[in-house]
Amino acid sequence: MRARVFVTLKPSVFDPQGRTIADALHSLGYGTVEDVRQGKYFELDLKTTEAAQAKALAAEVADKLLANPVIESYRIEVD
Amino acid sequence: MKFAVIVFPGSNCDHDAYHAITAVLGHSAELIWHKDTDLKGAHAVILPGGFAHGDYLRTGAMARFSPIMRSVAAFADAGGPVLGICNGFQVLLEAGLLPGAMLRNRDLKFHCEHVHVRVEQTDTPSTLACHRGQVLRLPIAHGEGNYFADADVIARLETNRQIVFRYTDAAGNVDDAANPNGSVAAIAGICNEARNVVGLMPHPERACELILGSCDGLLILQSIVQACRQGHLAGGSKGHALQPA
C-alpha cells in the first residue's frame, strides 16, 4: 500500500514562507487567496495490504521522524 | 581540561571551536566523528555549528540518529556540561535534550551579523564567568533561528529560569528591532532543567579574538573551564549548584 503524509505547521505557529507565498499571489492579482500554509509531502511505499496497518505505521513514523510535534501536525491518506 | 567537539557530516564550525579551545584558551580538544560512540574522557562536549546531515528534513533532525548522540545524551544525563552552538542548538532541540523547536527566520533571510545578547542566568556551566545582565556582542549566522515553543513551555522556561540568553540592543534592552529572527520571548539561548545542557544560536567560538571583531565569546568557553574546575564534571550530581560570578 501507499501512504501519503502531509506535514504542515500547526495553525498556532506563524508560517513566514506561507505568508510570503500569499503576498506573492496577491501581487500577481490573486486577491481571492486569503492565506497560504506550506508544508512537506511524503509518499511511503509499505509492505502491507491492510489499510489500517498502513495508516498506523505511517502515523508512527510521522510521530517519530517526519513531523516535529512541537511545531507541526500531519494528515495521512492510504490507498 | 579536555573538550570533545562532535563532527557531523556537514558540521562547519567544528574547527572554529577547536581553534578557540586549543590556540586561544590553551586547553585540549578532540574532534569526534559522529559515528564514534566514545567521548574519550572529555570533560565537556560541544555540538558545533553547520548543517549536520545537510539539515535534511529539518535542521538537526537527522543528527539525533548519529551513534555519538547516545553517548552525548548519557553524558548530559550524568550532569556533564554540553554546549550546542547554532546548528548544535538545533540538534539538541531535535534530540529532545532541550525543549522547543526552530522555525525559519521571520523575514526568511539568512542573518550573518553581530548581535547583542543579554546573559539572563549565570548558574549554568556555560555562563558561570558572566555577570547577570551582562551584554555580549556575538556573531550569528543562521536561516532558522526563530525559536518557538508553546505558551506552556515558555512559562515553564521562565519559571525555571531556563532562558539563558535574550537578544537585546547594545544597552541590554529587549526590543523587537533587536530580535534578528523573531524568536519568541527574544530567546537566543536556553538550558535544560538540570542546567548543564545549554544551547544558543550565536557563535561564541567565532568571537574569541580581537581580530574577529569581538572577544565576548571567550567568557562562555571560560565559563565551561571554570565550571569543570569547580567539579561540575560528568558523573556529578544532577543540577549541581554552581556559584555564579
Structural domains in chain A, sorted by start: 2-78 (3.30.1280.10)
CB-based contact B221:B101 (threshold 8 Å): no
* pLDDT confidence tier of residue B36, bands split at 50, 70 and 90: very high
Quick check: B242 pLDDT over 80?
Answer: no
Domain assignment present for B237: no
Verify whether residue B193 is a known catalytic residue.
no
Q: Which residues contact A68 (CB under 8 A, 6 or more apart)?
A: B58, B61, B94, B101
Backbone angles phi, psi at B128, to 5 degrees: -60, -35
- Chain A residue with Cα closest to B100: A70
d(CA B60, CA B90): 5
- Answer yes or no: is pLDDT of B216 > 70: yes
Helices (H) and strands (E) in chain A, counts: 2, 3
In whole angstroms, give the CA distance from residue B87 to residue B202.
10
- The mean per-residue pLDDT over the stretch B136-164 comes to 97
3-class DSSP state for residue B90? helix
How many domains does the structure of chain B reveal? 1
Q: B172: which 3 cell numbers?
A: 541590554
Looking up residue B33, the CATH number of its domain turns out to be 3.40.50.880
Place of cell 525559536: B147
pLDDT score at B228: 93
Sign of the Cα torsion B164, B169, B173, B178 reads negative
**CB pair distance less than 8 Å for A70 and B101:** yes
How confident is the model over B130-145, as a mean pLDDT?
98
Q: Note whether B61 contacts A68, CB cutoff 8 Å.
A: yes
What is the least distance, in Å, from the CA of A71 to any CA of chain B? 7
pLDDT of residue A2: 96
* Spans of chain A below 50 pLDDT: none
Q: Answer whether residue B222 is part of any domain.
A: yes
- CB neighbour list of residue A36: distance below 8 Å, 6 or more residues apart: A15, A18, A19, A21, A22, A25
ipTM score for this prediction: 0.87
Given an 8 Å threshold on Cβ–Cβ distance, is A65 in contact with B148? no
The residue of B107, B111, B148 whose CB has the most chain A CBs within 10 angstroms, and thus the best one to mutate to test that interface, is B148
Which of B55, B104, B111, B181 should we substitute to test contact with A (largest number of A Cβ atoms within 10 Å)?
B104
Lowest mean pLDDT among A1-10, B131-140, B171-180, B232-241: B232-241
Catalytic residue among B53, B205, B208, B232: B205
C-alpha B52/C-alpha B63 separation (Å) is 6
Strand partners, A74: A7
> Looking at residue B245, what is its pLDDT?
43
Query: If pLDDT is split at 50, 70 and 90, which confidence band does B240 have?
Result: very low
**d(Cα A37, Cα A14) in Å, to the nearest integer?**
9
pLDDT at B236 over 90: no
Residues B61, A65: C-beta atoms closer than 8 Å: yes
Q: Which residues on A lie below 8 Å from B149 (Cβ)?
A: 70
Q: What is the mean pLDDT of residues B183-202?
A: 98
| Domain presence at residue B33 | yes
How does DSSP classify residue B65? G
Domain presence at residue B234: no
Q: How confident is the model at residue B239 (pLDDT cuts 50, 70, 90)?
A: very low
B62 is in which domain, residue-wise?
Answer: 2-229
In this complex, do A13 and B107 lie within 8 Å of one another by their Cβ atoms? no
Q: B176-213 in b/e burial notation, b at 16+ Cβ within 10 A? A: eebbbbbbbbbbbbbbbeebbbbbbbbbbbbbbeeebe
Whether residue B238 lies inside any domain: the answer is no
Closest CA to B11 of B189, B167, B195, B205: B205
pLDDT computed for residue B72 by the predictor: 98
Using a cut of 0.80, tell me whether the model's pTM lies above it: yes
The pLDDT, as a whole number, for residue B231 is: 77
Mean pLDDT over each residue of chain B, to the nearest integer: 94
What's the rounded mean pLDDT across residues B9-23? Answer: 98
Contact present, B96 and B81 (Cβ < 8 Å):
no
Q: What is the pLDDT of residues B43-75, one digit of tens each?
A: 999 999 999 999 999 999 999 999 999 999 999
CB B169 within 8 A of CB B116: yes
Which residues of chain A have a CB within 8 Å of the CB of B57? 65-66
* B111 vs A contacts (CB less than 8 Å): none
Answer whether residue B227 shows pLDDT above 60.
yes
What pLDDT, on the 0 to 100 scale, is given for residue B232? 52
If you count residue pairs, one on A and one on B, with CB atoms under 8 Å apart, how many are there? 35
Distance in Å, alpha carbon of B106 to nearest chain A alpha carbon:
6
